[in-house]
Amino acid sequence: MTGAGTGANLLALRSHNAALVLDLLRTAGSDGISRLELAERTGLTPQAVSKITARLREDGLAAEAGRRASTGGKPRTVLRLVPEAAYAVGVHLDRDEVRAVLVDLRGTVVGERRAALDLGAGAGAVLTAVTEAVRATVADAVRATVADAVRVPVADEAQATVTDAVRVPVADEARATVTDAVRATARDAVHVTATEALPAGPLLARAGSLLGVGVALPGPLDHVRGVLHRVTGFPEWDGFPLREALAERLGVPVVVDKDTNAAALGLAAGGEGGSFAYLHLGTGLGAGLVIGGSVHRGARTGAGEFGHQVIQLDGPPCTCGDRGCVEALCLGAVARGDVEEAARVLGSGAANLVGLLDIDVVLLGGRTVAATPEAFVRGVGAVLGARARRTGEDAVPVRVAPGGGRAVAVGAAQLVLGPVFGRGDG
């Protein structure tokens, strides 16, 4: 949802209405939007909008962006979102690496970490790798901000202290956040006051500014409960409560979803409209489906297991236990160096999706696509073009998804940010 919903002047829906207003502030960008426009776009009364924006300004989420001439009367005050008011971390947990990004309220990446990982190394090792990636990403951002604030390099001792701070589990009874420890320790480490080290508006300066962590990884899994099923190629994860385990270690809310769903969510939040399929070809193959502007997960988060549709009976074995899956055929062709065949196979699977769901566009992503993007766009497009000629319909366009290697991690952060802006599919 991008400001298209209508508000309700009821106390019970106050948070919903605030989310509508926040989303409009987000989409307005740095130019901002007036209270009158907010009222017109949300359907709220001007009085309700004034109360909501006053609270948002008081909480540091909104600020004045200047004045704009009106058709009559005095110029209107224009408001904007304060991106640095809060942050979220997105984690892409792949089969062989972990990538963590720190994003602000606009979804802009302000910090990033990557590290090698073996998803089959066991729960303890994987949880430690994810925890360290998250905490290091936050610590890097804080170190950079403190150093900029005092205009001197942060000493080695200070850097070590900051890193230690984010590695300390947060006490439940204190109801603190990871950012509380980071901010306080960074302040003490450089021996200046809180005001000197963290002036108004710096990164992670406010208590509770880290909203949570979104984690995206291969499925199948249960998005609602945050529990993994038999992750393709790694059945030992079946039944593991990943969300609970990471929330306990990090001390902040955690949301878990499939990598393809997260990427699709990020694309939708970034402005990709209509209904589309995001096909992710990396160490595996899956699809994220957005239907009518919302991520379609299915009743059990089972939608989008695109790579395991069988298109060749008695074909080569797949890591899922079946034979002739699109994933097995596609990755097999890539391993042989036959990118054209891989693209043709991917196109055959995409054509099935187009026929079933009547989507508007097919977006391609993942490291394997990134290696030869033109070949995959051309090959998948050729198959969809041939299908269109047979049916007499217009061919569904194919293009590379924006975001590059960060697409899944950035989308994972949107799992946390989505509800802040009233997007219920976060």
Q: What is the residue-wise DSSP string for 187-235?
A: HHHTT--HHHHS-SS-TT-STT-EEEEEEEESS-EETTTTEE--BTTBG
Give the residue-averaged pLDDT of 295-320: 93
CB 379 within 8 A of CB 343: yes
CB 313 within 8 A of CB 324: yes
Per-residue pLDDT tens for 143-198?
776 566 555 444 444 444 333 433 333 333 333 333 333 333 233 322 222 222 22
Q: What's the pLDDT at 67? A: 86
Tokens for 58, please give them: 């008081």
CA distance 39 to 379: 48
CA distance 389 to 15: 49
Helix (H, G, I), strand (E, B) or coil at 398: strand
Rounded to the nearest integer, the mean pLDDT of the chain is 84
CA separation (Å) from 174 to 72, 73, 212, 213, 282? 53, 51, 17, 19, 41
CA distance 353 to 285: 14
Give the residue-averaged pLDDT of 384-397: 96
Q: 164 versus 245: which is more confidently predicted? A: 245
Going by DSSP bridges, is the β-strand pair 276-281/361-365 parallel, antiparallel, or unpaired?
parallel
CA separation (Å) from 12 to 70, 158, 235? 33, 46, 44
CB 57 within 8 A of CB 63: yes
- Backbone torsions φ then ψ of 99, nearest 5 degrees: -125, 130
Q: What's the pLDDT at 111? A: 95
CA distance 161 to 151: 19
Q: Which parts of 57-108 are beta strand (E)?
A: 62-68, 76-81, 87-93, 97-104
CB 399 within 8 A of CB 363: yes
Task: Say which range, 157-171, 220-234, 278-292, 406-420, has the weakest mean pLDDT.
Answer: 157-171
Per-residue pLDDT tens for 312-363?
999 999 999 999 999 999 999 999 999 999 999 999 999 999 999 999 999 9
- Backbone torsions φ then ψ of 364, nearest 5 degrees: -110, 140
Residue with the two structure tokens 């009976």: 313
CA distance 112 to 109: 7
Per-residue pLDDT tens for 369-380?
999 999 999 999
